[in-house]
Amino acid sequence: MADSITLTSVVEGLTKTQTAALAPDESTIVKASLAAGSGEVTIGLGTITAPKVIAVFGGLGISFRLTATTGTAIPANPFAIVSDAGGFSQASIYVTNAGAQPITVTIMAAE
């Protein structure tokens, strides 16, 4: 079975769903455990170097940046998705756990 990603959005009562098939070299899923109150942790996206979609499934206190220390912190409680049709030019993201509990985050990236 081929991997795929399905995104559904609802805006003002209108629902739009789009599914795209992904070849194995076009997507990756990474799990990372972060200690409570951990500073910024660099998490690689496997073989992905120009992701068009990055989804971070986190929790209370989890945020991530696309640029280390200077980028905008994007909260991922319970999750966040960023996308760019042209692709982001990076092979990693920067995740912080400001919460009081350790947590495992799941990152999905596709190009």
CA distance 33 to 49: 22
Task: Determine the Cα–Cα distance for residues 71 and 95; give it in Å rounded to an integer.
Answer: 11
The model's pLDDT over 6-42, given as tens digits with 9 standing for 90+, comes to: 777 788 888 888 776 666 668 888 999 999 999 999 9
Question: Mean pLDDT throughout 43-70?
Answer: 92
* pLDDT at position 23: 65
Q: What is the pLDDT of residue 3?
A: 65
More confident residue, 99 or 111: 99
The whole model's pTM is what?
0.80
Q: What is the pLDDT of residue 1?
A: 42
Specify the 3-state DSSP secondary structure of 25. helix
Q: Domain 23-110 maps to which CATH number in 3.40.50.920, 2.160.20.70, 3.40.50.150, 2.60.120.10?
A: 2.60.120.10
pLDDT, tens only, 58-98: 999 999 999 988 889 999 999 999 988 888 888 999 999 99
Average pLDDT (46-69) is 92
Residue ranges of domains in the chain: 23-110
Task: Give all strands (DSSP E) within the chain, no chain letters.
Answer: 3-11, 14-22, 27-34, 41-44, 53-57, 62-65, 74-75, 79-83, 92-97, 103-110
- Residue in the structure block whose two tokens are 């109150």: 37
